Every structure is written in structure tokens, then in C-alpha cells.
Amino acid sequence: MTQGIEQLSATKSHGGWVKRFSHRSQVLDCDMTFGIFLPPQAEEGNVPVLWWLSGLTCTDENFMQKAGAQKMAARLGIAIVCPDTSPRGTDLPGEHDSYDFGSGAGFYINAQKEPWSRHYHMYDYVTSELPALVREHFPISEREAISGHSMGGHGALICALKQPGRYASVSAFAPIVNPVACPWGEKAFSNYLGNERGEWADWDACELVLAKSSGQPMFVDQGEDDQFLNEQLKPENLEKACHIQGVSLKLRRHEGYDHSYFFVASFIDDHLEYHAHHLFADQA
């Protein structure tokens, strides 16, 4: 069934187009927006896509406006799609009370607890509904990779680990790798999923690696001056889990860099080239 989209804006960038659209999401039962960068190669045929998942408090616009990814993506011939970070306009009780839960903080999981379960199915949205919609309307091939920042880095990792073989590659900037063991994750998971902690493991990158759900290689960049490093992000936990299970993890630590988009913009080209290597691996 054809799903309608409405174009909100279109801006030429590095020979391609940055566009923004709205649509009605059946999965989330609300209106949603997403951004897409179409490289100039998309005018000639289908191109592979990088799904970018943003972090707490962000929308679909942060990455497109701050990361500076369009120049490299245009050179490589990769489309980039940026979903929003949570349902919008639902106005549930307490939804807007704090920055780390509710609006802007969907955590890319499927909520099981009311009232959140009525709308907060961000995992299904970013892995099923939105990809189908994008491929219906744009020249996007079946080749896909996924990346993200902070909460979005968590989302990228679990999407790849939960669906082995789907994504050609996965990377993350300063991801929340072990949400069952950090304040951000504990707050979100207890509200979205309930207090049975055993059910949280399906949405935690470290737990998924330890459960041998996937051998997906991962590429992670982390700033050493990140204000959330020790309490919330804990990359050493992912490093340990990957070592135990023999999963390939490229973890780079960068002295002086914090949690901001200055950090993301500094290394985004490395990630795009990493994904391009995998996306075009069979086209040599």
C-alpha cells in the first residue's frame, strides 16, 4: 500500500539534496518527520543508504545541520536517512518532564508498558516502517549500513546485533553500550519495559554480544573528555563483552574530545569511508 509523504524542505548540497519530509506513522500512531540526503548519484539509479540515529534531545535535523557529512557522502555515493528520536505530538502524561525520558528519548526500543506501548515502538519504526517508506519513494538500494550518536549509537548497535546479516556495517559515536547498567538506561527501560530487568537484555548491546546473538563487527569512536563517559557510556563494558565472545570491535579513544557534534563532525568522514568499504565490497 502506498504511504504518503509531504515534503517540508529541499536544499541543494554538494551536488545532491538535503530534504525533509513528514508522514503518518502507523507503527507510532502519530505524525513523524525524517531527513534524507540524496547524493548526486541518486539521479542515475539506486544508491546504498546509511541510517543515522541521533541522541537524547535531538530531532531528525541535528545530524544534517551539524555533522558536515554531505560532502563525503556525495563523493562516495551514499544516501543518509535521519529519523526523529521519538514519537511526537502524543502528549502522554510526563512525556515532556525530563530530557532523558519521553519526548526526544525513545531509545529505539519497543515499549511494553502503558501508556508508552501505544506509541513508543521506535525499533519497529527505524527497522521496518521507515525503510519500507523510504524505498517506496526514493532510489535506495537494499544495501544498508547503520550508525548513530549516544542514545542513537545504542540504537545502531542493537539494530545490527538483533538482525545479523542485515546491515553491511555498523558504527557509533559515544554510544550508550550497556543501558541496563547506567542511569539513562535504567530510567528509560524501567518506564518503557517495566521492572523485570531480565527483559531488558534484549535491548542492550553488551548483553546481546554476551548472549552470542550476533558476531557483527563494530566500529566505535569515543571522546576521552566526554562528560558522560564514566557514568553513562562505559565503552569498557562493550570492550570486555566483545573480548569474551571473540567479536571484532574497533574502539578508538580520542583525547580532548567531548560528547558534542564537534566530536561527531571531526570523525564522520572516517565512518562514512568505513561504511562505503562494506557497502560497495561486492562491486570491486
Q: Which of 84, 169, 226, 275 is catalytic?
A: 226
For the cut 70, the answer to whether the pLDDT of residue 192 exceeds it is yes
Residue 215 structural domain: 5-280
Core vs surface per residue 194-213: b (16+ CB within 10 A) or e: eeeeeebebbbbbbbbbeeb
pTM tops 0.95, yes or no? yes
Please write the tens of the pLDDT for every residue from 93-114. Answer: 999 999 999 999 999 999 999 9
Q: Which of 150, 169, 171, 214 is catalytic?
A: 150
The Cα 156–Cα 144 span in angstroms is 12
226 is catalytic: yes
Residue 140 C-alpha cell reads as 535506495
Measured in whole angstroms, how far is the alpha carbon of residue 221 from the centre of its chain?
Answer: 14
The DSSP H or E segment spanning 156 is helix 151-162
225 is catalytic: no
For the cut 60, the answer to whether the pLDDT of residue 284 exceeds it is no
Residue 114 burial by Cβ neighbours in a 10 Å radius (0-12, 13-18, 19+): exposed
Taking Cα atoms as reference points, which of 79, 86, 31 lies closest to residue 58?
Answer: 86
The amino acid at residue 2 is T
**How large a percentage of the chain has pLDDT more than 70?**
99
Taking Cα atoms as reference points, which of 214, 213, 255, 220 lies closest to residue 238?
Answer: 220
275 is catalytic: no
How does DSSP classify residue 182? S
Q: Which of 149, 259, 271, 275 is catalytic?
A: 259
For the cut 60, the answer to whether the pLDDT of residue 2 exceeds it is no
74 near 40, Cβ under 8 Å? yes
The Cα 145–Cα 128 span in angstroms is 14
Residue 1 confidence class, pLDDT cut points 50, 70, 90 = very low
Looking up residue 216, the CATH number of its domain turns out to be: 3.40.50.1820
For the cut 90, the answer to whether the pLDDT of residue 283 exceeds it is no
Residue 261 confidence class, pLDDT cut points 50, 70, 90 = very high
Phi, psi of 61 (to 5 degrees): -90, -25
Total domains, the chain: 1
